[in-house]
């Protein structure tokens, strides 16, 4: 069997060389940025690191008590099978009442990294559309501010009492997008962080 | 011909079906003591299992190993060292789909093309290709910093479609089901990198298909070779060669050959230690 052992080892080594070469080329061609950026569960960190560590097992999806998360389909390219969420439908409720977000605890590979403080959760950033926001249209509305876990920090008011997002503080949970009373699409939506 | 009950075939199908059913129930939240998919599973919220290839890819891509990966993959590696690639024969959901499809193929061929039904499973793709692909998967994970096999693995695509309804994913598994009719187990035997990893780990596994040296060789009927879904020539290469166990790396211990054998030559169990004279043989 010694000859067969050596053949198998050579095949394996050849495979590593071929895969490594192809991987370098693919990276140069920008494969890691070919997955569209998406709002991520808390703890996902930079897109590149997240896509590298996530094994697409779906345990975060099962762990989420509010069924916020779902896995993306093949249309997501190299990101296929990773978790994301549509905050308009179900936002991230930040596992209030639990010690830590359950998705992070479920993740076997630290693709979702344990957080010392929920404020480090960078799921995305809320972006406000002044053209459809009721407050900018003249109504008194502060639904997003009421929903925000960090009112007066992540969402503040300007001198006309209109909401303004502070992107440095916003963690992208989407509670504002969920709460916005605008018909149809929300006037405030979570934009994903850019692909690395 | 009297029909004998296919005990092992029924057993490995029921086990795989039960495993998949539990995963589906867990994904709907109906049972709480199990979570996850074939890539990573957790029992009682405590004991982790992580697909060793998924763990390897994530470790290479992210340059980080977590305790869960180490324990979870370690448990499965340990089982493979003892039992061989039993995941392939007893748990893999894609393996189950291919096995059922193979059964259907045999049933249809027996009625339409009886002579072809008596021909062993043959795939023109060499077995070594899956070892090459295992290397490719590992190399690409490290260089591209992406666990690419976890993205496109037909096993994962099938499981994700069933558990998480993650769209479009069934195309590749369905294509493999069609391929099964032409080249049986072309995927499992010759292409699957996970199968290649389990086969490498299982090389020295003591749990094997054993051959009764007394019964072997009496009126060889070749049913084991004809029925082996992995295309192992059980009779020609192992039984008649005087071996005491089927040491082919592709063997998943599924037991189909045990069901096929009319004389009880084959059994599943701990292999006999090689005799001193076996060692001395060239």
Site of tokens 């004998």: B4
- Mean pLDDT over the full length of chain B: 89
How close does chain B come to A22, measured CA to CA in Å? 7
Q: What phi, psi does B266 have (nearest 5°)?
A: -105, 145
A101-121 pLDDT per residue, tens:
999 999 999 999 999 999 999
Contact B72 A108 (CB under 8 A): yes
Q: What is the CATH number of the domain that holds A84?
A: 3.30.70.20
CB A179 within 8 A of CB A143: yes
How close does chain A come to B117, measured CA to CA in Å? 31
Residue A185 lies inside a defined structural domain of this protein: yes
Contact B35 A63 (CB under 8 A): yes
CB B70 within 8 A of CB B76: no
Contact B128 A7 (CB under 8 A): yes
Is the CB of residue A104 less than 8 Å away from at least one CB of chain B?
Answer: no
Residues of B numbered 144-173 whose beta carbons fall under 8 angstroms of chain A's beta carbons: which are they?
Answer: 144-148, 150-152, 156-157, 160, 163-164, 166-169
How buried is B71 (Cβ within 10 angstroms: 0-12 exposed, 13-18 middle, 19+ buried)? middle
Contact B148 A78 (CB under 8 A): yes
Site of tokens 């009373």: A181
Check whether B280 has a pLDDT greater than 50.
no
Is the CB of residue B66 less than 8 Å away from at least one CB of chain A?
Answer: yes
Q: What phi, psi does A127 have (nearest 5°)?
A: -125, 130
**Considering just the CA atoms, what is the radius of gyration of chain A in Å?**
21
Instruction: Classify A71 as helix, strand or coil.
Output: strand
A118-138 pLDDT per residue, tens:
999 989 999 999 999 999 998
Instruction: Classify B270 as helix, strand or coil.
Output: strand
Chain B residues inside the 8 Å CB shell of A74: 157, 167-169
Instruction: Print the domain residue range for A57.
Output: 32-191
Chain A residues inside the 8 Å CB shell of B57: 55
Nearest to A32 among B58, B138, B145 (CB): B145
B37-68 pLDDT per residue, tens:
999 999 988 899 999 999 999 999 999 999 99
Is the CB of residue B68 less than 8 Å away from at least one CB of chain A?
Answer: yes
Q: Determine what percent of chain B is predicted with pLDDT higher than 90.
A: 60
Q: What phi, psi does A56 have (nearest 5°)?
A: 60, 40
Chain A residues inside the 8 Å CB shell of B163: 58
Residue A128 lies inside a defined structural domain of this protein: yes
How buried is B272 (Cβ within 10 angstroms: 0-12 exposed, 13-18 middle, 19+ buried)? middle
Number of domains in chain A: 1
pLDDT mean over B24-29: 88
pLDDT of residue A21: 95
Check whether B18 has a pLDDT greater than 90.
yes
Q: What phi, psi does B92 have (nearest 5°)?
A: -55, 120
Domain map (residue ranges) of chain B: 7-200, 206-280
CA geometry: angle B52, B58, B59, nearest 5 deg: 85
Check whether A45 has a pLDDT greater than 80.
yes
Contact A51 B146 (CB under 8 A): yes
Chain B residues inside the 8 Å CB shell of A110: 62, 64, 66
Q: How many helices (H) and strands (E) are present in chain B, helices listed first? A: 14, 5
For A167-181, B213-227, B264-278, which range has the lowest pLDDT when averaged over its residues? Answer: B264-278
CB B215 within 8 A of CB B278: no
For B63-77, B113-127, B223-237, B255-269, which range has the lowest pLDDT when averaged over its residues? Answer: B113-127
Check whether B1 has a pLDDT greater than 50.
no
* Residue A89: partners with Cβ closer than 8 Å, 6 or more residues away: A178
Check whether B150 has a pLDDT greater than 90.
yes
pLDDT of residue B276: 53
pLDDT mean over A50-65: 93
Chain B residues inside the 8 Å CB shell of A70: 164, 166
Give the C-alpha separation, A179 to A159, whole Å.
Answer: 23
Residue A6 lies inside a defined structural domain of this protein: no
- ipTM confidence: 0.89
Q: What phi, psi does B20 have (nearest 5°)?
A: -65, -40
Contact A81 B131 (CB under 8 A): no
pLDDT of residue B278: 53
Residue A134 lies inside a defined structural domain of this protein: yes
pLDDT mean over B5-20: 93
Chain A residues inside the 8 Å CB shell of B141: 19, 23
Domain B206-280 has CATH 3.30.70.20: yes
Is the CB of residue A146 less than 8 Å away from at least one CB of chain B?
Answer: no
- Mean pLDDT over the full length of chain A: 91
B83-132 pLDDT per residue, tens:
999 999 999 999 999 999 999 998 999 899 888 888 888 888 988 899 99
Of B192, B121, B123, B162, nearest to B21 (Cα)?
A: B162
Contact B166 A81 (CB under 8 A): yes
Residue A113 lies inside a defined structural domain of this protein: yes
Residue A24 lies inside a defined structural domain of this protein: no
Is the CB of residue B56 less than 8 Å away from at least one CB of chain A?
Answer: no
Is the CB of residue A10 less than 8 Å away from at least one CB of chain B?
Answer: no
How close does chain A come to B139, measured CA to CA in Å? 4
pLDDT of residue B282: 44
A4-23 pLDDT per residue, tens:
788 889 999 999 999 999 99
């Amino acid at each position: 069997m010694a000859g067969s052992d050596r053949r198998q080892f050579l095949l394996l080594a050849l495979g590593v060389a071929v895969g490594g070469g192809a991987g370098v080329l693919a990276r140069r061609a920008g494969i890691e940025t070919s997955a569209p950026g998406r709002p991520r569960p808390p703890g996902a960190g930079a897109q590149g690191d997240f896509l590298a560590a996530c094994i697409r097992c779906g345990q975060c999806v099962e762990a989420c008590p509010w069924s916020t998360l779902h896995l993306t389909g093949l249309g997501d390219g190299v990101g296929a099978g990773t978790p994301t969420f549509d905050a308009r439908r179900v936002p991230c409720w930040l596992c209030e009442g639990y010690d830590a977000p359950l998705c992070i605890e479920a993740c076997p590979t630290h693709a979702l990294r344990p957080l010392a403080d929920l404020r480090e959760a960078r799921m995305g950033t809320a972006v406000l559309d002044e053209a459809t926001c009721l407050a900018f249209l003249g109504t008194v509305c502060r639904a997003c501010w009421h929903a925000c876990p960090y009112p007066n920090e992540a969402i503040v008011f300007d001198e006309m009492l209109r909401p303004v997002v502070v992107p440095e503080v916003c963690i992208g949970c989407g509670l504002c997008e969920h709460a916005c009373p605008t018909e149809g699409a929300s006037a405030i939506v979570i934009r994903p962080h850019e692909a690395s | 011909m009297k029909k004998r009950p296919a005990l092992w075939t029924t057993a490995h199908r029921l086990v795989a079906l039960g495993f998949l059913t539990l995963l589906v129930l867990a994904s709907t939240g109906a049972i709480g003591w199990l979570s996850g998919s074939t890539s990573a599973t957790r029992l009682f919220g405590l004991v982790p299992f992580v697909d060793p290839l998924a763990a390897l890819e994530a470790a290479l891509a992210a340059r980080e190993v977590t305790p869960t990966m180490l324990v979870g993959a370690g448990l499965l590696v340990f089982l493979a060292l003892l039992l061989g690639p039993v995941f392939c024969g007893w748990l893999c959901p894609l393996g189950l789909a291919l096995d059922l499809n193979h059964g259907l193929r045999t049933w249809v061929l027996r009625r339409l093309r009886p002579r072809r039904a008596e021909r062993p499973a043959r795939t023109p793709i060499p077995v070594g290709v899956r070892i090459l692909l295992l290397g490719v998967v590992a190399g690409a994970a490290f260089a591209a910093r992406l666990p690419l096999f976890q993205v496109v693995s037909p096993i994962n695509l099938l499981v994700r479609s069933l558990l998480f309804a993650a769209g479009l994913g069934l195309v590749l598994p369905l294509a493999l089901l069609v391929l099964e009719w032409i080249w049986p187990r072309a995927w499992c035997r010759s292409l699957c990198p996970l199968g290649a990893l389990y086969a490498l780990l299982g090389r020295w596994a003591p749990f094997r298909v054993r051959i009764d040296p007394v019964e072997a060789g009496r009126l060889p009927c070749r049913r084991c070779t004809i029925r082996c879904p992995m295309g192992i020539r059980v009779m020609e290469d192992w039984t008649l060669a005087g071996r005491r166990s089927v040491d082919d790396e592709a063997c998943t211990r599924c037991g189909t050959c045990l069901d096929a054998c009319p004389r009880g030559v084959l059994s599943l169990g701990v292999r006999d230690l090689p005799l001193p004279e076996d060692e001395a043989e060239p």
